[in-house]
Structure 1
Amino acid sequence: MKNILWTLLFGAGSVLAANDVVVGSDVSKIQSELASEVKSQLITSEQAEEMELNRAETYEVTSTVSVENLELQIAEKLKDSIMPYYSIEYNEPTNDDDRFTAIVTEYFGKVE
């Protein structure tokens, strides 16, 4: 009986955590929506390093509403950007946080 209670408690915690985590399917949806709204190109931080790009600005975007709201906020920040590249890192799963979070980094070309 004790094991069943622990399983139920931990199982419920993982379900709760799943509500505030940006998962793979959410990432794909955000990236495709941003591609149509933003003129900058999405790259990974590893690609930025390989391309020897310079970091222009890094900022956190947070939503307590939904993944869709997070995407809207990211798009609003990037729409007016003149930087040609950006990368996004999404939040890690937590049990005590009800926010959707992304770290956006904008890059510009190699300075010669």
Structure 2
Amino acid sequence: MKKIILLLMVCSFSVFADDKAVVGSDATEALEQVTSEVTSELITVERAEELGLNRAITYEVFSTVSVDNLEHNIAERVKESKVPFYSVEFNEATQSDSNYRAEVTEYFSKVE
């Protein structure tokens, strides 16, 4: 199930490929690393809506070093919060400006 969700998440990235851009394969590898380091479940924004989850917080994570450093920063932030669900959307980033960014949204279960 996690692999299917990961695949869906990868398909919805807003990372564009050109000669200087961080391409989708880097984003895929970064998400695989994050999901192996945290216990929270990676889901898509659409899946969170389907499940009726409540959004806890949305924040931007960035790195001026590399995509690997970005994934490390994402994993650390998600581990600290201990939310059950989260989604990640990578922003367009070019290597020329050395600014790798992602928007992370954390969710908690539906309150009844």
TM-score, normalised to structure 1's length? 0.76
Structure 1 alignment gaps of length 5 or more: 1-13
CA deviations 1:13-70 (Å, max 9, x no partner) are: x53x32xx3x211121112111211000000000001111000011100111100000
Question: Partner of 1:80: helix, strand, or coil?
Answer: helix
Quote the offset at 1:80 in angstroms.
Answer: 2.0
Equivalences, count: 95
1:38 aligns with 2:48: no
After superposition, the C-alpha distances for 1:71-109 in whole angstroms (9 at most, x for unaligned) are 010011011222100000111256974311000000001
Residue segments in structure 2 that go unaligned for 5+ positions in a row: 1-17
The alignment's C-alpha RMSD in Å is 1.8
Structure number with bigger Rg: 1
| Normalised TM-score (structure 2) | 0.76
Q: Percent identity?
A: 58
Q: List, as ranges, runs of 4+ consecutive aligned residues in structure 1 with deviation greater than 6 Å.
A: none
Could you tell me which residue of structure 2 aligns to residue 5 of structure 1?
none
